[in-house]
């Protein structure tokens, strides 16, 4: 296998979209942006050993590399459309590329996303994906829109992926339900779309709730108080309450949406959750001040052992 064989293998499997005038094969892709919409663009890299355990299945690496990007589009309320894929591979393995594409293209098909180009190089295993979506002017869910008194919500449950990683790191048996949450995050695209005009701010949780809600607070020049956390049965069974709280507050890799909305919009938030086919939980409130205060069930405030994942930290 050589570079061009690998690219041909990828090209063979991509599906068409009417707005892709020219896809894989030339120096650039040519795309038609719908009149009246804006482009939302995001890029994320997964490095072996940093973003996933080295023995992760190719299918899951493919799935996750697209999922984390679609999650960013979801967090803006954008509708996914296209993506590019820059692959660095230690060897030109058809088996790896085929498995990778199985996962990548399954998720792409679920969201009608077309793979329109990329780059293929030799190097330590690394996957960079750039995703493009459409958003109606003025409708993007930004980090800087939270207002004092808004309620803070999250989708799904928190801490599951971090729980799997913690079990994997300590060489314990990894619970399969938790492992699935680490390997196959589900981007909350339909929820993000349904929150347009309802949420005042939104972010996807990749680095841990405290860190990511902290970004919303800083961007909005406000603080927040968090006093509830949605917990899966699998996490509850595997960790004690203290460990759980640390995983849920600072663990990261959840790819759930954290958003704010005025208390009066509670009904609209629940309707958006219904449309997005994912439960949502009210976890706190936006307040004057700065930083995120975490409150335990006994009313005491909780200080994290560390704030969340940061590269170079
Ligand atoms: P160039 O040298 O002009 O950048 P390449 O030889 O790198 O072109 O790529 C040839 C074509 O294949 C381009 O259209 C490029 O976008 C596409 N391509 C290369 N690698 C990938 C990949 N991993 N996934 C999707 N498309 C790819
Ligand atoms: Mg190139």
* Residue list, ligand 1 pocket, CB within 6 Å: 7, 10, 24-27, 85, 87, 115, 117-120
**Entry pTM:** 0.96
Per-residue tens of pLDDT for the chain, all 313 residues? 888 999 999 999 999 899 999 999 999 999 999 999 999 999 999 999 888 888 899 999 999 999 999 999 999 999 999 999 999 999 999 999 999 999 999 999 999 999 999 999 999 999 999 999 999 999 999 999 999 999 999 999 999 999 999 999 998 899 999 999 999 999 999 999 999 999 999 999 999 999 999 999 999 999 999 999 999 999 999 999 999 999 999 999 999 999 999 999 999 999 999 999 999 999 999 999 999 999 988 888 998 876 666 666 6
State the pLDDT at residue 198: 98
**Interval between CA 139 and ligand 1 midpoint (Å):** 33
Can you tell me which atom of ligand 1 is nearest the CA of 87? Answer: 23
Q: Which residues of 208-237 are buried (b: 16+ CB within 10 A; e: fewer)?
A: bbbbbbbbbbeebebbbbbbebbbbebbee
Q: Which two tokens mark 163?
A: 């729980």
Is 80 in contact with 114 (CB distance < 8 Å)?
Answer: no
Q: Which ligand is nearest to the CA of 30?
A: 1
For ligand 1, the distance from its centroid to the CA atom of residue 7, given in whole angstroms, is: 7
Query: How far apart, in Å, are the Cα atoms of 67 and each of 94, 143, 255?
Result: 22, 20, 8
Q: What is the pLDDT of residue 308?
A: 63
pLDDT at residue number 307? 60
Q: Are strands 291-295 and 301-302 parallel, antiparallel or unpaired?
A: antiparallel
pLDDT at 55: 87
Ligand 1 centroid, distance to 38 Cα (angstroms): 25
- Whether 160 and 60 have beta carbons less than 8 Å apart is answered as no
CA–CA gap between residue 142 and residue 132 (Å, rounded): 16
Best mutation site among 24, 58, 108, 115 for ligand 1, i.e. most ligand atoms within 8 A of its Cβ? Answer: 24
Angle between helices 58-76 and 176-183 (to 10 degrees): 60
Given a contact cutoff of 8 angstroms between Cβ atoms, the answer to whether 216 and 147 are in contact is: no
Q: How far apart are CA 79 and CA 85, in angstroms?
A: 19
Instruction: Specify the residue with its C-alpha closest to ligand 1, atom 8.
Output: 27
Report the pLDDT value the prediction gives residue 1, as an integer from 0 to 100.
82
- Are 290 and 187 spatial neighbours (Cβ–Cβ below 8 Å)? no
* φ and ψ of 281, to 5 deg: -130, 135
Task: Please tell me the number of the ligand nearest to residue 84's CA.
Answer: 1
Ligand 1 atom closest to 4 (CA): 6
Helix, strand, coil shares, percent, the chain, to 5: 35, 25, 35
Q: What is the pLDDT of residue 182?
A: 96
How remote is the CA of residue 119 from the centroid of ligand 2, in Å? Answer: 5
- CA 146, chain centre distance (Å): 20
């Amino acid at each position: 296998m050589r570079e061009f064989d690998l690219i041909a293998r990828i090209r063979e499997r991509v599906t068409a979209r009417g707005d892709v005038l020219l896809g894989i094969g030339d120096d650039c892709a040519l795309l038609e942006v719908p009149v009246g919409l804006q482009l939302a663009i995001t890029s994320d890299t997964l490095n072996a050993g940093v973003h996933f355990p080295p023995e992760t299945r190719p299918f899951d690496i493919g799935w996750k590399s697209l999922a984390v990007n679609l999650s960013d589009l979801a967090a803006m309320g954008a509708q996914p459309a296209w993506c590019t894929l820059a692959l660095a591979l230690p060897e030109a393995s058809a088996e790896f590329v085929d498995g990778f594409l199985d996962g990548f293209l399954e998720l792409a098909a679920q969201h009608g996303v077309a793979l329109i180009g990329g780059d293929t190089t030799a190097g330590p295993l690394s996957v960079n994906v750039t995703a493009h979506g459409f958003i109606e002017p003025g409708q993007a869910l930004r980090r800087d829109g939270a207002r004092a008194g808004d309620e803070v919500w999250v989708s799904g449950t928190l801490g599951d992926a971090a729980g799997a990683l913690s079990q994997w790191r300590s060489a314990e048996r990894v619970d399969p339900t938790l492992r699935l949450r680490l390997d196959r995050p589900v981007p909350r695209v339909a929820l993000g779309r349904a929150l347009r005009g309802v949420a005042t701010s939104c972010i996807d949780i990749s680095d841990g709730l405290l860190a990511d809600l902290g970004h919303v607070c800083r961007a909005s020049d406000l603080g927040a108080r968090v006093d509830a956390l949605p917990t899966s049965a699998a996490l509850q069974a595997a960790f004690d309450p203290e460990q759980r709280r640390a995983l849920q507050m600072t663990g990261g890799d959840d790819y759930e949406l954290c958003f704010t909305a005025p208390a009066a919009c509670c009904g609209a938030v629940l309707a958006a959750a219904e449309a997005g086919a994912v439960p949502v939980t009210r976890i706190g409130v936006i307040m004057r001040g700065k930083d995120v205060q975490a409150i335990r069930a006994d009313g005491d405030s909780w200080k994290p052992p560390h704030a969340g994942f940061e590269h170079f930290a």
